[in-house]
Amino acid sequence: MPPLSRRLMMVMPMIAAASAASAQAPAVMLFRVVSQRDEIIIGLTPAELAALGSGPEAERIGRRLAAEGQVGAWRYTVGRAPDGSTRYGANGRISILRQDTYRIEPYTAAIPVAPPPS
Protein backbone atom coordinates (compact mmCIF):
# COMPACT_ATOMS: atom_id res chain seq x y z
CA MET A 1 0.00 0.00 0.00
CA PRO A 2 1.45 3.43 -0.91
CA PRO A 3 2.33 5.85 1.88
CA LEU A 4 -0.32 8.32 3.01
CA SER A 5 1.25 11.29 1.22
CA ARG A 6 1.24 9.43 -2.08
CA ARG A 7 -2.43 8.43 -1.65
CA LEU A 8 -3.33 12.03 -0.87
CA MET A 9 -1.53 13.19 -4.00
CA MET A 10 -3.58 10.72 -6.04
CA VAL A 11 -6.90 11.79 -4.48
CA MET A 12 -6.40 15.59 -4.45
CA PRO A 13 -6.92 16.09 -8.23
CA MET A 14 -10.19 14.16 -8.04
CA ILE A 15 -11.42 16.32 -5.15
CA ALA A 16 -10.41 19.51 -6.95
CA ALA A 17 -12.22 18.44 -10.13
CA ALA A 18 -15.37 17.55 -8.21
CA SER A 19 -15.43 20.86 -6.35
CA ALA A 20 -14.79 22.81 -9.56
CA ALA A 21 -17.69 21.05 -11.27
CA SER A 22 -20.06 21.77 -8.40
CA ALA A 23 -18.89 25.40 -8.21
CA GLN A 24 -19.77 25.92 -11.88
CA ALA A 25 -23.53 25.41 -11.58
CA PRO A 26 -25.21 27.05 -14.56
CA ALA A 27 -26.76 30.48 -13.95
CA VAL A 28 -29.64 29.48 -16.24
CA MET A 29 -30.95 26.25 -17.77
CA LEU A 30 -32.25 26.37 -21.33
CA PHE A 31 -35.30 24.58 -22.74
CA ARG A 32 -36.77 24.30 -26.22
CA VAL A 33 -40.53 24.94 -26.27
CA VAL A 34 -42.24 23.60 -29.39
CA SER A 35 -45.71 24.77 -30.43
CA GLN A 36 -47.82 24.44 -33.55
CA ARG A 37 -46.52 27.73 -34.94
CA ASP A 38 -42.88 27.81 -33.89
CA GLU A 39 -40.27 26.86 -31.35
CA ILE A 40 -38.39 29.09 -28.93
CA ILE A 41 -35.58 28.73 -26.43
CA ILE A 42 -36.37 29.73 -22.85
CA GLY A 43 -34.21 29.96 -19.76
CA LEU A 44 -34.99 29.50 -16.09
CA THR A 45 -32.64 30.17 -13.19
CA PRO A 46 -32.04 27.47 -10.58
CA ALA A 47 -34.25 29.44 -8.15
CA GLU A 48 -37.09 29.63 -10.69
CA LEU A 49 -36.82 25.88 -11.32
CA ALA A 50 -36.76 25.13 -7.59
CA ALA A 51 -40.01 27.10 -7.20
CA LEU A 52 -41.63 24.69 -9.70
CA GLY A 53 -41.14 21.68 -7.42
CA SER A 54 -39.04 18.55 -7.68
CA GLY A 55 -38.27 16.06 -10.41
CA PRO A 56 -36.79 16.43 -13.88
CA GLU A 57 -36.73 20.08 -14.94
CA ALA A 58 -38.83 19.72 -18.12
CA GLU A 59 -41.47 17.80 -16.16
CA ARG A 60 -41.61 20.58 -13.57
CA ILE A 61 -42.40 23.10 -16.30
CA GLY A 62 -45.03 20.77 -17.79
CA ARG A 63 -46.71 20.23 -14.42
CA ARG A 64 -46.89 23.99 -13.84
CA LEU A 65 -48.37 24.51 -17.30
CA ALA A 66 -50.99 21.84 -16.65
CA ALA A 67 -51.86 23.20 -13.20
CA GLU A 68 -51.85 26.94 -13.83
CA GLY A 69 -52.14 27.28 -17.60
CA GLN A 70 -49.00 29.40 -18.03
CA VAL A 71 -45.33 29.69 -17.04
CA GLY A 72 -43.16 32.81 -17.11
CA ALA A 73 -39.59 32.48 -18.39
CA TRP A 74 -36.75 34.36 -20.06
CA ARG A 75 -36.72 34.14 -23.85
CA TYR A 76 -33.19 33.39 -25.11
CA THR A 77 -31.87 34.33 -28.54
CA VAL A 78 -28.47 34.29 -30.21
CA GLY A 79 -26.73 37.64 -30.07
CA ARG A 80 -23.41 39.35 -29.51
CA ALA A 81 -21.64 39.67 -26.18
CA PRO A 82 -19.95 42.98 -25.31
CA ASP A 83 -16.63 41.53 -26.51
CA GLY A 84 -18.15 40.70 -29.93
CA SER A 85 -18.41 36.94 -29.45
CA THR A 86 -21.62 35.04 -30.20
CA ARG A 87 -23.72 33.87 -27.26
CA TYR A 88 -27.24 33.15 -26.07
CA GLY A 89 -28.68 36.06 -24.14
CA ALA A 90 -31.95 36.86 -22.39
CA ASN A 91 -34.28 38.82 -24.64
CA GLY A 92 -37.09 39.67 -22.20
CA ARG A 93 -39.63 37.79 -20.12
CA ILE A 94 -42.37 35.83 -21.85
CA SER A 95 -45.36 33.75 -20.79
CA ILE A 96 -45.81 30.27 -22.22
CA LEU A 97 -49.46 29.23 -22.49
CA ARG A 98 -50.66 25.66 -22.04
CA GLN A 99 -52.86 25.54 -25.17
CA ASP A 100 -50.01 26.62 -27.46
CA THR A 101 -47.38 24.18 -26.19
CA TYR A 102 -46.73 20.69 -27.57
CA ARG A 103 -43.34 19.81 -26.15
CA ILE A 104 -40.76 21.08 -23.67
CA GLU A 105 -37.29 19.59 -23.77
CA PRO A 106 -33.93 20.45 -22.22
CA TYR A 107 -31.66 22.34 -24.61
CA THR A 108 -27.87 22.27 -24.58
CA ALA A 109 -26.35 25.31 -26.26
CA ALA A 110 -23.25 24.94 -28.40
CA ILE A 111 -22.26 28.53 -27.59
CA PRO A 112 -21.93 30.35 -24.24
CA VAL A 113 -25.10 31.33 -22.36
CA ALA A 114 -25.33 34.63 -20.49
CA PRO A 115 -27.26 34.77 -17.22
CA PRO A 116 -30.52 36.73 -17.24
CA PRO A 117 -30.49 40.32 -15.98
CA SER A 118 -30.95 40.65 -12.24
Q: Tell me, yes or no, whether 21 lies in a domain.
A: no
In-domain check, residue 18: no
User: What confidence tier does 111 reach under pLDDT thresholds 50, 70, 90?
Assistant: very high
Asked if residue 114 is part of any domain, the answer here is no
Beta strands in the chain (DSSP E): 29-35, 39-44, 70-80, 86-97, 101-107
Domain count within the chain: 1
> How far is the C-alpha of 45 from the C-alpha of 69, rounded, in Å?
20
What is the value of pTM for the model shown?
Answer: 0.76
| Residue 57 domain flag | yes
45 falls within a domain: yes
For residues 38-47, give the mean pLDDT. 95
Query: Which position has the higher pLDDT, 17 or 43?
Result: 43
pLDDT of residue 8: 43
Mean local confidence (pLDDT), 17-38: 73
Banded pLDDT at 33 (limits 50, 70, 90) = very high
Answer whether residue 116 is part of any domain. no
Report if residue 4 sits inside a domain.
Answer: no
Residue 13 belongs to a domain: no
Domain of 35, in residue numbers: 26-107
Confidence at residue 69, expressed as pLDDT on a 0 to 100 scale: 94
